[in-house]
């Protein structure tokens, strides 16, 4: 992959941005999905830091890693793909931080497209080896959620976030709409605790009210 | 890995549970981290379905996939590890669903330990190849958040969730406390929208107040 960066640098003198968009979504060939979607994202990002990085002779710039709305929620019909897109978000948010920006002047954004009409989705609908009928589930899911956007819509979203996106931010481009994800802090995942210092108040005894909607029962004979 | 399942089935006649605990956390050798933590989890889970699954002669059971609190939030000091633990949560929640349970009678749980005192953490503190001083960041992070629990505490948590955990649930075991994660639905990640039907009110004109903190300027000479 590095030869591509060398070629681009040679041709354009300077590289301003990298879009790590290559992806694989077949469950039948899930090892390839992990290799392309996880290892590919890490490698592409590290090379981006190297060739764009102000610390290595570059001028800084932006890396956009393409995840998916499946990276924001589980997807039973395509579990390895969904997992790999969770990976992308976790990685991009980890390196889209001050430590890396200070050294490279490169910001890292994540874009999560919703279902988009591409050849890719039409082809890769096989299930996991042990669950071959999972492919049908995925097909059903894709048919029920008809693509409302084209690859061009996603490209437009990408141009927009290049302008607006701050380092580490995560964006959704779905059904032609673009918005920045508000990802909650993990301390909010804790279930609400009972305050151990607070004594339980005795329940208030309200006077019994007659239910105005309840019909009077007929007197028993 | 399959030979281990064959061996266990031969020895115990039946397998009730699988804990996918093997992990790697070195950033210097990040390809191995992806291989062990991502591909390992998928393979271990698929073999779990095969050997425990009621559809393949098993009696059903439970698979526990070990993630980390780093799978619930980004971690700049160990980005590939954090990403791989996001992967584990995304994958386990995707297969901890009705589709898989109906076919196998196997439930899938995720356990996310907080910092735990293990040999593993003491050894693997190298940075990414391009950022060798990242290791120092990780060391600092681990030192600031001194381990408050032992591997035995995590094992106790695991026994507890085996009892209580419903299919697809995600649990945290941190500082000797165990709780079930309340993971928000992705529709809550959307920023609050302005009501397009509501007309913008004109800003209220407040009477100008004198700033009591502002010193009177000395008259210009």
Residues in chain B closer than 8 A to A180 (CB atoms): 191
pLDDT at A124: 60
Residue in A78, A84, A90 closest to B74 by CB? A90
Q: Which residue has the tokens 């995304």?
A: B90
CATH of domain B2-181: 3.40.50.720
Residue B189, SS3 per DSSP: helix
- For residue A205, pLDDT over 60 is answered with no
Residue A92 CA from chain centroid, whole number: 10
State the pLDDT at residue B140: 85
Mean pLDDT (chain A, rounded) = 85
Residue of B nearest to A178 (CA): B190
Helix (H) or strand (E) holding A92: helix A79-95
pLDDT at B135 over 70: yes
Q: What is the DSSP string of A59-90?
A: --EEEEEE--GGGSS--TTSHHHHHHHHHHHH
Q: Which of A146-155, B2-11, B123-132 has the highest mean pLDDT?
A: B2-11
Instruction: For residue range B56-115, list pLDDT tens digits in order.
Output: 788 999 999 999 999 999 999 999 999 999 999 999 999 999 999 999 999 999 999 998
Name the CATH code of domain A2-182 (choices 3.40.718.10, 3.40.50.1370, 3.10.20.30, 3.40.50.720): 3.40.50.720
Report residue A81 CA to chain centroid gap. 11
Residue B104 to chain A, least CA–CA distance (Å): 10
Q: Which residues does A129 contact at the CB level (< 8 Å), separation at least 6? A: A28, B46
Instruction: Please name the member of A46, A99, A186 whose beta carbon is closest to the beta carbon of B130.
Output: A46
Exposed, middle or buried: residue A197 (CB in 10 Å: 0-12, 13-18, 19+)? exposed
ipTM score of complex: 0.85
The residues, any chain, with a CB within 8 Å of residue A216's CB and separated by 6 or more, are none
Q: How confident is the model over A85-119, as pLDDT tens digits?
A: 999 999 999 999 999 999 999 999 999 999 888 76
Please state, in angstroms and rounded to a whole number, the distance separating the CA atoms of residues A75 and A89.
15
Question: Using CA atoms, how far apart are residues A18 and A95, in angstroms rounded to an integer?
Answer: 14
What's the pLDDT band for B127 if we cut at 50, 70, 90? confident
The first and second tokens of residue A124, run together, are 């890769």
B87 closest CB neighbour out of A84, A97, A131:
A84
A95 vs chain B: nearest CA distance in angstroms? 6
Q: Cα(A24)–Cα(A118) distance, rounded to whole angstroms?
A: 12
> Which two structure tokens, joined as six digits, stand for B115?
């910092």
pLDDT reported for residue A215: 44
Greater confidence (A145 vs B199) lies with A145
pLDDT band at B201 (very low <50, low <70, confident <90, very high): low
- A190 CB neighbours in chain B (<8 A) are 172, 179, 181-182
Query: How far away is chain B from the Cα of A206, in angstroms, using its nearest Cα?
Result: 34
3-class SS shares of chain B: helix, strand, coil, % to 5: 45, 15, 45
Q: Cβ of B118: how many Cβ atoms within 10 Å?
A: 14
Whether the pLDDT of residue B195 is over 60: the answer is no
Which pair of structure tokens corresponds to residue B203?
């800003």
Q: What is the pLDDT of residue A200?
A: 47
CA distances from B74 to A33, A214, B133, B164 (A): 22, 55, 18, 28
The first and second tokens of residue B158, run together, are 């695991």
What was the pLDDT predicted at B141?
84
Dig out the tokens for B67 from the structure.
């993630």
Rounded to whole angstroms, how far apart are CA atoms B88 and B109? 10
Both structure tokens of A96 = 């889209």
Token pair 């030192």 is at which residue? B143
Residues in Cβ contact with A107 at an 8 Å cutoff, skipping those fewer than 6 apart: A61, A62, A63, A96, A101, A165, A166, A167, A168
pLDDT number for residue B124: 60
The Cα-based distances of A121 to A36, A81, A139, A198, B90 in angstroms read 16, 12, 9, 55, 20
Angle in degrees, CA A94, A182, A170, rounded to 5: 45
pLDDT at B211: 45
Domain borders along chain B are 2-181
CA angle at A194 for the pair A191 and A198, rounded to the nearest 5° = 160
- Can you tell me the distance from the alpha carbon of B38 to that of B30, in angstroms, rounded to the nearest whole number? 11
Q: Sort out which chain A residues have CB atoms less than 8 A from B69's CB and list them.
A: 186
Sheet holding A17-20, edge to edge: A17-20, A61-66, A106-113, A170-174, A177-180
- Let me know how long chain B is: 221
What pLDDT score does A138 carry? 87
């Amino acid at each position: 992959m590095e030869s591509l960066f060398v070629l681009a640098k040679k041709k354009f003198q300077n590289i301003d941005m990298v879009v790590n968009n290559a992806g694989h979504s077949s469950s039948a060939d899930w090892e390839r999905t992990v290799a392309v979607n996880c290892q590919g994202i890490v490698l592409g990002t590290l090379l981006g830091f190297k060739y764009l990085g102000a610390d290595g002779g570059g001028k800084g710039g932006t890396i956009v890693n393409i995840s998916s709305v499946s990276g924001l929620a589980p997807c039973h019909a395509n579990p390895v793909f969904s997992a790999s897109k969770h990976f992308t978000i976790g990685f991009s948010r980890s390196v889209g931080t001050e430590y890396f920006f200070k050294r490279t002047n490169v910001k890292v954004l994540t874009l999560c497209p919703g279902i988009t009409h591409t050849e890719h989705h039409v082809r890769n609908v096989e299930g996991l080896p042990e669950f071959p009928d999972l492919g049908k589930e995925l097909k059903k899911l894709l048919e029920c959620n008809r693509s409302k956007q084209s690859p061009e819509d996603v490209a437009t979203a990408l141009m927009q976030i290049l302008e607006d996106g701050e380092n580490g931010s995560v964006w959704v481009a779905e059904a032609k709409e673009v918005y920045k994800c508000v990802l909650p802090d993990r301390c909010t995942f804790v279930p609400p605790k009972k305050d151990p210092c607070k004594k339980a108040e005795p329940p208030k005894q309200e006077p019994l009210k007659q239910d105005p909607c309840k019909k009077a029962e007929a007197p028993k004979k």
